[in-house]
Amino acid sequence: MRIKEHPILNFKEERKVIHFTFNNCPVTGYEGDTIASALHALGIKKLSESMNLKRPRGFYCAIGNCSSCRMIVDGEPNVKTCVTLLKEGMDVKVQSNKGEIYD
């Protein structure tokens, strides 16, 4: 889901497409997206899970204050994807709350 038009904000007609992988699957986003916003726009809601009960965690605060969006990005665990801009060729994986890869 993406906002296409807005009464105040001006969206560019043509935005650069960014290619990256999510859990080893090729996906795309747009220049200026954060990792979490690109995944959310693709319909991917689970970004991490709670430590004890393994409950899914998703896009929550969007300002880097909570830990719901922590993922493994290019091999680095605990990256807050709601404030990390998407870059070409990134490798993004869901992780458990302990920083382990979740398959």
Residue 82 makes CB contacts below 8 A (sequence gap 6+) with: 34, 35, 36, 37, 59, 60, 61, 62, 63, 64, 69
Are 58 and 76 within 8 A, CB to CB? Answer: no
The pTM for the full model equals 0.80
- 17-93: CATH topology is Ubiquitin-like (UB roll) (3.10.20)
pLDDT tens digit at each of 103 positions of the chain: 677 777 887 776 677 899 999 999 999 999 889 999 999 999 988 887 777 777 788 777 878 788 788 889 999 988 999 999 999 999 999 886 565 555 5
